[in-house]
Amino acid sequence: MSFEVLTYGFMQRAILTGAIIAILSSVIGLFLVLRRYSLFGDALAHSSFGGIALGLFAGVYPLWTAYGVSILSALIITKIKTRYNISGDASIAVLLSSGIAAGLVIISFSGGFTLDIFSFLFGSILLVSVNDTVVIAALTGAILMVILLFFRQILYSTFNEKQAKVSGVPVEKINYLLIILAGLTVVTSIQLVGVLLISALFVIPNVTAIMYGRSFKQTMFISMSFSVFSVVSGILISYVFDITPAGTIVIFSVAILAVTMGIKSAGLLSKN
């Protein structure tokens, strides 16, 4: 592979933005995975597809409407779960399909599928502008700051809600906070891998890292590293072979997971 590709502006932006999104989604994803909310990202991504369609239809920048719809859905799913005592996986299924359904209806009103729609479904990391990169970097910085600020409370309520509550952590508020952050992260990640592959970004690096990590922070850093590695290699390899970056990124992270499982089965990692 020639290194000339790294001198292209679009490639530099893609790699930088991709790495930022990789870090963000693996951090948020670790909390979701440990809370058994692995498919939550997927549900939010599908529902934000409805938001994207709405934005395209109304002539608004689609990601802004997607942010709105994603956060709203995150809050609704949480409310439904507690209020009507519907299980987590069922409420995720409801949200997932209603988002896509709403999106499809709106799209047919506005004259069917266009190139734009496909780029949201499968990601468009090679097309990010300088402006996109700045917005994504700022948003990621803000989300990570909030996580850092409430790190203990988020971690404690992920570990055990009841004990966190007894020691004075406002568990309900913290849960809402995390869910809103997840909503923001999902829409931000759509540009990298698209609506359809979001969960891969949230879940796979974390499932892998949990097998290696000892402490929580260590696990978080391992997950970030795997995620950044998969994203950067995925983008580069996909460019060289002229294939889709989103798919390649996910294949890379699945490969790391598979190798890890192999190592673990061979007894080279401690059992956990």
Partner 1 sequence: MLNAVEISNLTVKYPEVIALDDVSFVVKQGDFLGIIGPNGAGKSTLFDSMLGLNTTYTGTIKFFDEDIKKSKTYHKSIGYVPQRPEFENNFPATVSDVVRMALRKKSDENKIDEVLQRLWIHELRNRRIGELSGGQLQRVFIAKALVNDPKILILDEPITGVDQQNIDLFFSILKELNSKHGITIIWSSHDLDAVNKLANHVACLNRTLFFHGESEKFFSDDELVKQYSEASMQEHMHHH
Site residues, partner 1 (CB under 8 A) = 34, 152, 155-156, 159-160, 162-168, 209-210, 213-219, 270, 272
Minimum gap (Å) between residue 120 Cβ and partner 1: 33
- Residue placing its CB nearer to partner 1 in the complex, 12 or 163: 163
Can you tell me the distance from the alpha carbon of 192 to that of 195, in angstroms, rounded to the nearest whole number?
9
- Residue placing its CB nearer to partner 1 in the complex, 68 or 88: 88
Minimum gap (Å) between residue 130 Cβ and partner 1: 37
- Residue placing its CB nearer to partner 1 in the complex, 36 or 79: 36
Question: How many C-beta atoms surround the C-beta of residue 220 within 10 A?
Answer: 18
User: Is residue 38 a contact partner of residue 57, using CB atoms and an 8 Å limit?
Assistant: no
User: Is residue 154 a contact partner of residue 174, using CB atoms and an 8 Å limit?
Assistant: yes
Minimum gap (Å) between residue 168 Cβ and partner 1: 4
- Residue placing its CB nearer to partner 1 in the complex, 9 or 168: 168
- Residue placing its CB nearer to partner 1 in the complex, 83 or 162: 162
What tokens were used for 138? 């700022």
Q: For residue 197, what is the DSSP state?
A: G
The full DSSP string for 94-117 is HHHHHHHHHHHHHHHHTTS--HHH
Minimum gap (Å) between residue 234 Cβ and partner 1: 25
Q: What are phi and psi of 163, to 5 degrees?
A: -65, -35
Minimum gap (Å) between residue 244 Cβ and partner 1: 32
Question: How many C-beta atoms surround the C-beta of residue 120 within 10 A?
Answer: 25
Can you tell me the distance from the alpha carbon of 53 to that of 249, in angstroms, rounded to the nearest whole number?
25
**Alpha-carbon Rg for the chain in angstroms:** 19
Minimum gap (Å) between residue 4 Cβ and partner 1: 40
- Residue placing its CB nearer to partner 1 in the complex, 34 or 72: 34
Q: What are phi and psi of 112, to 5 degrees?
A: 90, 180
Can you tell me the distance from the alpha carbon of 94 to that of 112, in angstroms, rounded to the nearest whole number?
24
What tokens were used for 150? 């409430």
- Residue placing its CB nearer to partner 1 in the complex, 87 or 167: 167
Can you tell me the distance from the alpha carbon of 78 to that of 95, in angstroms, rounded to the nearest whole number?
11
Minimum gap (Å) between residue 215 Cβ and partner 1: 5
